Amino acid sequence: MQKDINAHIPNYPNLPSKLICLLHNVTLHADPETDEVYAQMTLQPVNSYDKEALQASELALKQTRPQTEFFCKTLTASDTSTHGGFSVPRRAAEKIFPPLDFSMQPPAQELQARDLHDNLWTFRHIYRGQPKRYLLTTGWSLFVSGKRLFAGDSVLFIRDQKQQLLLGIRRANRQPTNLSSSVLSTDSMHIGILAAAAHAAANHSPFTVFYNPRASPSEFVIPFAKYQKAVYSNQISLGMRFRMMFETEELGTRRYMGTITGISDLDPVRWKNSQWRNLQVGWDESAAGERRNRVSIWEIEPVVAPFFICPPPFFGKRPRQPGMPGTF
């Protein structure tokens, strides 16, 4: 929820900057128009936390699921052309798609993949060309036009534990997402999320939070153990070096290095002593201009200077004087 801190936001003096909650439920949704994925979380504030109850609550976020195979590719102009097809990287085709029958000329098959809304898309998968390459042809242009995809957007193919092929998209536009009304509950739209949280804290009642990681890149709902470790295990100081993980367009991750240049509350009037985005940072790379200049303590990994143990002094052998006995 990206808001200007100078904007008029009602003050809730009884709402602390940190609210310890039990996690009751997490439901994942996808916007029907944009395919943007967001989470709906039901939280309940607690007065004094029960360590075992909080750990059990966090297990809901860490449920072990079978590993899935996937690949993600940023679309090129050729991939989105109405006359072309989708060029599939060789390793991805051989790892994710069913094997082709190379006794056929040319080797080809029909693929079916389901999107987030359970719509079934059918493609012709073929191995042809000079040099030979894997392509999705028939059906691909229909998918591109149906999803309104452009060069720079990304497409994601997943093979789940049931060997079913799933399909998703990731749009390149990083501007704030205009989510449909389905993202907000009636109560949240009526009284606002802060009012809902304040009411829930006062009455120990559940409330609902909607989180879109692309619209709000800074986490504001975090596991209790992660917060405890960040706040009480890390000694933060000005000038400290750190690294921070960012997700790339190809669904990989990349570390950026930076330096802590300031420590101060983002909003000292309404949210005093809050660790949310209280670190001012500078990034090493000039290309890191898109990185925000304020981060939270639980988002970074401090880099501790290595401690070197000085080896004992080395004494070389002196040349033996003529006539003196030697040692072996």
Over the stretch 249-261, which tens digit does the pLDDT of each residue have? 655 677 889 999 9
Angle at 320 between CA 315 and CA 321, to 5 degrees: 135
Over the stretch 133-189, which tens digit does the pLDDT of each residue have? 999 999 999 999 999 999 999 999 999 888 899 999 988 864 544 444 444 443 444
d(CA 31, CA 212) in angstroms, rounded, equals 11
Residue 77 sits in the same domain as residue 91: yes
φ, ψ for residue 264, nearest 5 deg: -160, 155
d(CA 107, CA 302) in angstroms, rounded, equals 52
Residue 85 sits in the same domain as residue 35: no
Sign of torsion over alpha carbons 60, 160, 72, 184:
negative
Please state, rounded to an integer, the average pLDDT across all residues of the chain.
79
Range of the domain at 30: 1-66+175-216
Residue 56 sits in the same domain as residue 75: no
Residue 231 sits in the same domain as residue 299: yes
Q: Reduced to 3 states, what is the DSSP secondary structure of residue 2?
A: coil
**48, 126, 155, 298, 314 from 98: Cα distances, Å:** 53, 12, 18, 41, 63
Residue 238 sits in the same domain as residue 283: yes
Residue 121 sits in the same domain as residue 244: no
d(CA 110, CA 118) in angstroms, rounded, equals 18
The number of folded domains in the chain is 3
In a domain, 326, yes or no: no
Over the stretch 189-213, which tens digit does the pLDDT of each residue have? 444 777 888 888 888 899 998 887 7
Angle at 215 between CA 121 and CA 173, to 5 degrees: 60
Residue 59 sits in the same domain as residue 82: no
Beta bridge partners of 158: 70, 166
Residue 179 sits in the same domain as residue 62: yes
In a domain, 311, yes or no: no
Query: Structure pTM?
Result: 0.67
CATH number of the CATH domain containing 236: 2.30.30.1040
**Proportion of the chain above pLDDT 90, given as a percent:** 33
Task: Give residue 96's Cα distance to chain centre.
Answer: 22
